[in-house]
Amino acid sequence: MNARWNGQFSCFDLVAKSGHCSRSIVPVGDLEIGGDDFIVMAGPCAVESERQIMETAEAVAAAGARILRGGAYKPRSSPYSFQGMGVAGLKLLRKAREATGLAIVTEVMSEDDVDLIAEYADLMQVGARSMENYALLQALGRCDRPVLLKRGLTATLEELLRSAQVIAMSGNPQIILCERGIRTFETATRNTLDIAAVPVLKTVSRLPVIVDPSHAAGVRSLVPVLARAATVVGADGLIVEVHPSPDQAMSDGDQSLTFEQFSDMMDDLQPYLAIQEDARRLRPELLVARGAD
């Protein structure tokens, strides 16, 4: 392994790759993330109504998603924006799971809400703005649900893995990392998708890595091409925003795909998934940094 990286990351011993553990497979409901299957999570930014979440759940399941996303507790940049439906939103997510069999991922913003959200979620999402909320990370370490840890807006990969180590040290090694774009000087996209984060994390860490092209792009037209890029560099899955009428969405409508766009994106991913599968099976060294052990 590159000596600099080795020194930088090996101290996070519960999440770094090591001789005896090169890959963790994280169970989410009946699924496995970081195993042989590429898992797509999809749904609205926020749960807004029964009709919205049920229709979206049916549509994304039909297109091949395996996990339904939807925020019930929303971290918004503006205090005047919609803050989410709270428990009523969690109940709607449960209903959507019962109707479709999709597992549920939803965000937890406070350590006080961990137990409540764990009753409804199969996967606990830590948002970019909470990545360094250690009280929350420690509470998730004591919880028996897997955690989706999103990279902070200005966090280095070292800081991301440090936060993962906090969760693991608190007792929960079931962690999935998510690259969702970082803040740079570029303004053409909402955030800059750090595509190199995927092979770096796959080289130095044992944890599965997924990509969120929606929050990186900020505009829906870019989401499919970023999803394709994530697939060929070896991401273990995607998390994508989808809404029945994106222009009416209460949050993140500009970056949300329609049902048809999501279904097309899933179809168009197939050849790229085949490339990833060949690499995993025949030449796994293609998916990590060259010269890595």
Which alpha helices (DSSP H) does the chain contain, by range? 3-9, 50-63, 87-100, 114-118, 134-141, 157-169, 197-204, 213-217, 223-232, 259-282
Q: In angstroms, what is the minimal distance from the CB of 217 to ligand PEP?
A: 12
Q: How far is the CB of 293 from ligand PEP (least distance, A)?
A: 31
Q: Which is nearer to Mn ion, 16 or 230 (CB)?
A: 230
CA distances from 208 to 7, 94, 130, 164, 291 (A): 21, 25, 20, 12, 20
Which span (42-50, 85-93, 222-230, 260-268) binds Mn ion, by CB under 5 A? 42-50
Which parts of 106-165 interact with Mn ion (CB under 5 A)? none
Task: Give yes or no for residue 223 binding Mn ion (CB under 5 A).
Answer: no
Selected range binding Mn ion among 101-109, 117-125, 145-153, 249-257, rule: CB under 5 A:
249-257
- The listed partner (ligand PEP, Mn ion, none) that binds 202, CB under 5 to 8 Å by sort, is none
> Which of the 8 DSSP states describes residue 247?
G
Options 252, 256, 257, 266; binder of Mn ion; rule CB under 5 A? 252
Tokens representing 287? 């998916």
Rg, C-alpha atoms of the chain: 18
Report how many residues bind Mn ion under the rule CB under 5 A: 2
Entry field: residues in the chain: 293
For residue 290 the two structure tokens come to: 């060259």
Which of 151, 228 has the CB closer to ligand PEP?
Answer: 151
Q: Quote the CA–CA distance of 173 and 235 in Å, as a whole number.
A: 19
Using CB distances below 5 to 8 A depending on partner kind, what does residue 128 bind out of Mn ion, ligand PEP, none?
Answer: ligand PEP
- The answer to whether residues 3 and 202 touch, using CB atoms and an 8 Å cutoff, is no
Q: Which is nearer to Mn ion, 122 or 252 (CB)?
A: 252
Q: What, of ligand PEP, Mn ion, none, does residue 253 touch, CB below 5 to 8 Å by kind?
A: none
Task: Identify the sign of the CA torsion 27, 33, 38, 39.
Answer: positive
| Residue 141 CA, distance from chain mean position | 18
Least separation in angstroms between residue 108's CB and ligand PEP is 11
Residue 234 Ramachandran class (φ > 0 left, ψ -120 to 50 alpha, else beta): left
Interface with ligand PEP (CB under 6 A):
45, 71, 75, 127-129, 150, 180, 212, 215
- Give the shortest CB-282-to-ligand PEP separation in angstroms: 33
45: contact with Mn ion by CB under 5 A: yes
Choose the binding region for Mn ion from 45-53, 125-133, 230-238, 282-290 (rule: CB under 5 A). 45-53
Residues at the contact surface with Mn ion, assessed by CB under 5 A? 45, 252
